[in-house]
Amino acid sequence: MRPLKLLLAFTLTAFLFTSCIYEEAVVYDTYNPTPTTPIVTADQLLHSYELWYVDINQTIGYGETPFMEIAFTLSFRNGVLYANNNLVGFESQGNGFGIPVGDYDAYNMILDVYHDIDGYQTFDVYEVDYNTIELYNPYTDTSYFLHGYQRHTFDYDFVFYDNIHYFLQEYEAWEKTYTSSYGALNEFDNENYLQFLAGGNDSEFRSSQDPAGLNPDYLYWDYTGVYGVGNVANNMYVKTLTLDYDYFNNEYFELSVVNDQRIELYHPSSGTLYEFTGRGYIQYMKNAAGKQTQQPKKRKQKTEKKANPRENTRKA
């Protein structure tokens, strides 16, 4: 009997010990940690940089949010939305922030914009990487991608010269105010005004031989065509400008910017240097009286056309 009792006692002890171990394992396996919270909110994200460059060429979708289409940069400052819509005054206007264009509210990962012209717009905000965000408009099913910078590290010059095409559109007309005494006589000597049109196919120009000093509203435009702006290798401060006239060959120039209102056009085929001065500044979004002005077509890259020598005569 004693051996049997000892055997039963040993078996009972082993069973109880095993049960305790199993119970502890069950408690450990059912541990459920507290869910994590988002690292940043939309408001914190938008305030992390002073300027957000709108990379319009990264846009995904076929819809359009008008104020996004014309903005080079956006800034979110204490509930007020600022934008650089123009290259004239770029970097200096509003201490680099541009002009106020509306109000905004950012919460969770949502951005609500109350634009002075376009009204209410809403976006879902996504952090793509350390300085890139995606603003998705669910009503147009379109995403815009913005890259963040501080003002002191933002390359205003690069953006300006990379978008010269749009700078040319920011005046109602460009008046010829200087022609060099050197260079061969050529047909372009007769041109006194150029106009670069926004909208349409976004690359149309007109030219006029009217006398100097006229108001752009009263100019008669003699010729039309399309134009292209291209790069010069290893020199970001000089561009090429090709004027492709309807019914005529092209005029080819080297384009340099003197200041926000004056450009130089060097004509290699004749060796002549011209200066044109902008007349009738167009401030996109608002003019000096606070009225809405025309808005250009969606920004996109333009390619340079091949230049050909122009014939010496034109059809009037």
pLDDT digits (tens, 9 = 90+) for 211-252: 999 999 999 999 999 999 999 999 999 999 999 998 778 999
- Give the integer Cα–Cα distance in Å for 202 and 73: 20
168, 148: one domain: no
Residue 145 lies in a domain: yes
51, 156: one domain: yes
CA 240 to chain centre: 21
What is the per-residue pLDDT for 13? 53
Residue 108 lies in a domain: yes
Residue 190 lies in a domain: yes
Residue 107 lies in a domain: yes
DSSP letters spanning 175-238: EEEEE-SSS---GGGG--EEEE--STTS-EEEEE-PPTT--GGG----EEEEEEEEEETTEEEE
What are the tens digits of pLDDT across the range 168-209?
Answer: 999 999 999 999 999 999 999 999 999 999 876 668 999 999
Q: Residue 266: is its pLDDT beyond 90? A: yes
What is the per-residue pLDDT for 38? 53
What are the tens digits of pLDDT across the range 42-99?
Answer: 999 999 999 999 999 899 999 999 999 999 999 999 999 999 999 999 999 999 999 9
128, 226: one domain: no
For the entire predicted model, the pTM comes to 0.74
Handedness of CA 254, 257, 258, 263 (dihedral sign): positive
What are the tens digits of pLDDT across the range 18-47?
Answer: 554 444 444 444 445 555 555 688 999 999
What residues are paired with 259 via a beta bridge? Answer: 262
Domain ranges, residue 246: 164-281
Q: How confident is the model at residue 1 (pLDDT cuts 50, 70, 90)?
A: very low
Mean pLDDT along residues 147-154:
96
95, 47: one domain: yes
168, 228: one domain: yes
What is the per-residue pLDDT for 198? 82
Q: What is the CATH number of the domain that holds 136?
A: 2.40.128
Q: Residue 256: is its pLDDT beyond 80? A: yes
CB 85 within 8 A of CB 98: yes
Q: Which two tokens stand for residue 105?
A: 């509210």
What are the tens digits of pLDDT across the range 278-303?
Answer: 999 998 864 333 334 455 434 544 22
Q: Residue 9: is its pLDDT beyond 80? A: no
Q: Residue 147: is its pLDDT beyond 50? A: yes
274, 172: one domain: yes
Residue 231 lies in a domain: yes
Mean pLDDT along residues 112-131:
95
Residue 292 lies in a domain: no
Residue 5 lies in a domain: no
227, 132: one domain: no
What is the per-residue pLDDT for 11? 53
**Which residue type, as a one-letter code, is found at position 154?**
F
